[in-house]
Amino acid sequence: MADIRQLLRDLPVFGGDLPTFDPVDTPDEPVALFTTWLLAAVEAQIPEPHAMTVSTAGADGNPSARTLILKDIDADGWRFAAHADSVKGKELADRRYAALTFYWQPLARQVRVRGPVVRESAERAAQDFLARGAGARAEALLGRQSRPLTDLAERDAAVAESAARLAREPELVAPGWQLFTVRADEVEFWQGDQERKHTRLAYRRKGDAEVWTKGLLWP
Ligand SMILES: Cc1cc2nc3c(=O)[nH]c(=O)nc-3n(C[C@H](O)[C@H](O)[C@H](O)COP(=O)(O)O)c2cc1C
């Protein structure tokens, strides 16, 4: 155990050639800055820069978090899709708030987003489902996500059955497929620094309007 502790202590963080971040010259609202940072992550060829940690809480207040793929972002917010029957789907039905965390390691950049979650129309959810690849649609059609599975052969048979059904019915949309938008009321941009002089810029929505305040935070 002492070896693991030492190994963890010796692992480097915030190495490499890091970008600079000037918080003075930033947009008045966070979506534009997020888009700039996402495009920088794509440009830097960071694998899966659209993968994010989505945190939710159930009625008991206990948090749970998992990685999901960002589907879209616009003035309304950050979008992801999930099955109503999954743990996250049920938690969002209980408590319509989520937090998103992006970490782009080679750039030492983190973005945190918090806010209420809006469930989009069935039509938009269907569009999202139909835009998924064949394998992802077959998996989503399974339902039963996060429920106990007896053995892997059962999974493989169910996936094959789903794929065959989708081949017969290409317009089929998994019942319970939902598209969610996090309408952020707080967004924080964090730029890591080798000397630990990290730069943090936090946006806060003013009331219900599209008006934001922004300010620095201590690292
Ligand atoms: C990179 C990555 C991307 C993922 N994308 C999704 C996704 O888009 N949708 C999804 O339901 N699960 C996705 N998962 C699996 C989830 O992290 C999670 O295991 C699953 O959704 C069950 O979560 P729940 O039990 O909290 O509902 C992804 C996992 C990883 C590592």
Q: What CATH number has the domain bearing residue 92?
A: 2.30.110.10
User: What is the band of 1 on the pLDDT scale with cuts at 50, 70, 90?
Assistant: low
62 belongs to a structural domain: yes
101 belongs to a structural domain: yes
Question: pLDDT tens, 99-113?
Answer: 999 999 999 999 999
Q: Whose C-alpha lies nearest to ligand 1, atom 20?
A: 66
Q: Is 88 in the pocket of ligand 1 (CB under 6 A)?
A: yes
CA 136/CA 146 separation, integer angstroms: 16
Please give the structure tokens belonging to residue 98.
Answer: 């989520």
Q: Is 69 in the pocket of ligand 1 (CB under 6 A)?
A: yes
**Nearest ligand 1 atom, CA 65:** 26
User: What is the band of 21 on the pLDDT scale with cuts at 50, 70, 90?
Assistant: very high
Question: pLDDT tens, 196-208?
Answer: 999 999 999 998 7
48 belongs to a structural domain: yes
| Domain span including residue 66 | 13-132+175-217
Q: Whose C-alpha lies nearest to ligand 1, atom 6?
A: 68
Q: Whose C-alpha lies nearest to ligand 1, atom 29?
A: 67
189 belongs to a structural domain: yes
Are 146 and 64 spatial neighbours (Cβ–Cβ below 8 Å)?
Answer: no
CA 128/CA 81 separation, integer angstroms: 8
43 belongs to a structural domain: yes
95 belongs to a structural domain: yes
Are 111 and 189 spatial neighbours (Cβ–Cβ below 8 Å)?
Answer: yes
Question: What total of structural domains would you count in the chain?
Answer: 1
Q: Is 52 in the pocket of ligand 1 (CB under 6 A)?
A: no
191 belongs to a structural domain: yes
Task: State the pairing for strand pair 177-182/77-83.
Answer: antiparallel
